[in-house]
Amino acid sequence: MGLLVGLIVVVIVVVDQLAKGWVVRDLPAYTPIDVVAWLRPVLSFTYVKNTGASFGMFQNMNAVLAVLSVIVLILMVIFQRTIPPQVWIVHVALALVMGGALGNLIDRITRGYVVDFFDVNFWPFAAWPVFNVADSAIVVGVAILLVDSFFLHHLERATADA
């Protein structure tokens, strides 16, 4: 299971860093760019230098957020090692979260801010903050963990009781 987790983490970090490299190299900061014309009303790329956390919280606290990220990553690795291999979905979810956290941590350390660029503009997300590949991996990983926690364990228990 460790190989799968490592592979997912590496893929997330590489894709995230390649995308952010493109954004930094080719897009002007804070200017929406419509890369695909027919997606203009829904999706633009806007290079944003994020010194805070999600939804603009904790701005200019990059060092604190970097330290917290390292602590959380260490705790996640320790926790992940306690999960039985047959619960593969939890391993995948944790790998997505770890890959996303590591991708954003790399930005915090090397740039002093996180590069965000996906700018979603459709209801109900009209006021949604700009985000990146790492953020997406974290959200998907957390969503999988929530679904697993709230639904799948109940199904397992119900099946075991039957």
Compute the C-alpha angle 109/112/115, nearest 5°: 100
User: What is the pLDDT, as a whole number, of residue 159?
Assistant: 54
Reading the block at residue 57, the tokens are 């919280």
Amino acid letter at 107?
A: D
Residues marked as catalytic:
116, 135
Residue 160: in which H helix or E strand, if any? helix 153-161
Mean pLDDT for the stretch of residues 44-53: 93
Share the mean pLDDT of the chain: 89
Could you report the per-residue pLDDT of 97-110, keeping only the tens digit for each?
A: 999 999 999 999 99
Over 70: is that where the pLDDT of 21 sits? yes
pLDDT band at 47; cut points 50, 70, 90: very high
Segments of the chain assigned E as strands? 43-50, 114-120
Q: What is the pTM of this model?
A: 0.89
Cα 96 to chain centroid, rounded: 7
